[in-house]
Amino acid sequence: MTADTNLVLENLALLDVDRGELLGGYSVHVRADRIHAVERGRIPDPAALRIDLGGRVLMPGLIDCHIHVCADAMTSKPPLFPALAVAKSSHLLHDTLMRGFTTIRDTGGADAGHRDAVEQGLFLGPRMKVSGRPISQTGGHGDSRSPSEQCISCPQTSSYGVLADGVDEVRKAIREEIRRGADQIKIMASGGISSPADPIDYIQYSNDELLAAVDEAHRAHKYVLAHAYTADAIGRAVEAGVRSIEHGNFLDERCAALMAERGAFLVPTLIVYRRIVSHGHLVGATPVHLEKARKVLDSGTRSLEIARRAGVKMAFGTDLFKAPKEFQIEEFLVRAEVLSHAEILRSATTVSAELLRMDDRIGRIRPGYLADLLVVEGNPLENFACLQDQGRHLLLIMKGGHRVKDLLSGEGPSTLVPAKALGDRYQALRPVPR
């Protein structure tokens, strides 16, 4: 995109995500990277390129607040060369953008270099908020060693995470991630699925360590997100001041009320468990990994119902760590088993934007906001089929004014789009009926 971008989109149905309605009769004017005007009727500008949407839906770009663009490659056995891991991440970023996600928050693995590569146009992908290396206690969810490994000289860091025990080590680890350019800090507050030595109900980090983590992040004008499954782990993290709870499958009414009171966000990631169980054999998931995923999967969508009743703000996340990434968009279908389409669309736009502290710039179609726009063949308020199939039904994708996909104007994209997608191994996968 060049600085003199001047574009008018007209004859469209505008998706107002706040109201959960389609509004007819509007036109949208884009100048440079911003939405310049949203007006009823025709916007007169003879110098603008005009694109007739033919009555199709115009909606904001999507936001995924729990994604890993390189963690699979970084934790593979045997380890990959760092350059190969980065190359794989570039294709994942491209495909994520082509599904309509214009902003993502990487929750472990990606560093400031990934973010800057996208911002400088070296990679084509969504804008990124990166968490750097997750902070974990010894034997916690970020400790990838098997139980049989002896700790003769335990490494405190790895390519993926950092092991930190005690208040001083936690503070130092977080200061290091802030120095390395992290936008927010991730800590492991409970056991997890992919780690071999900790059961899911293992409550991790002491209260003092949690408070220290939040204090360090807060003083740098950042926040903490916490991996946590059980109600006890969630409650302790929220009481310490953690801003967002990742996963939260075993949330209960007491913790949901506490989250609502404190203004904490929940980022459910339900599709990952279904796809680990169905496709784990294709991505090297161990029997222990699969058994943990089945236990979490059994909790189903109950956490969504509890959170909604309590008024907890739910952002959109998919995770898909150790699971095929092309199932990212199926998170919409899983949530639709409990929530309305309008609620889910808000979670992937306005609520996620608020979590990222970007709700004055993204998530809505308003003057002054970044021009992150999707033209959809279908109505997502009624049927999420129009968002499936790897973005096939998205006729126009704009990220910050860039037309990265354009099947309407006849001019093609204004930015070069890498031709190669993910490898044949993932391309061959197809959704499996539940």
What does the domain layout of the chain look like in residue ranges?
6-61+364-406, 62-355
Report which of residues 162 and 144 the model is more confident about.
Answer: 162
Report which of residues 54 and 80 the model is more confident about.
Answer: 54
- Do 62-355 and 6-61+364-406 fall under one CATH topology? no
Please give the model's pTM, rounded to 2 decimal places.
Answer: 0.91
The radius of gyration computed from the CA coordinates of the chain, to the nearest angstrom, equals 21
Taking 60 as the threshold, does the pLDDT of residue 295 lie above it? Answer: yes
Indicate the burial class of 206 (C-beta count within 10 angstroms; 0-12, 13-18, 19 or more).
Answer: middle
Say whether domain 62-355 belongs to CATH 3.20.20.140: yes
- Summarize the confidence of residues 88-102 as an average pLDDT: 96
Q: Measured on CA atoms in the order 99, 101, 102, 104, is the torsion positive or negative?
A: negative
pLDDT of res. 151: 62
- Summarize the confidence of residues 43-68 as an average pLDDT: 97
What contacts 122, CB < 8 A, 6 or more positions away?
none
Taking 50 as the threshold, does the pLDDT of residue 180 lie above it? Answer: yes
Query: What distance lies between CA 292 and its chain's CA centroid?
Result: 22
User: In the CATH scheme, what architecture does the domain 6-61+364-406 have?
Assistant: Roll (2.30)
- Summarize the confidence of residues 259-268 as an average pLDDT: 98
Tokens 């009743």: give the residue. 309
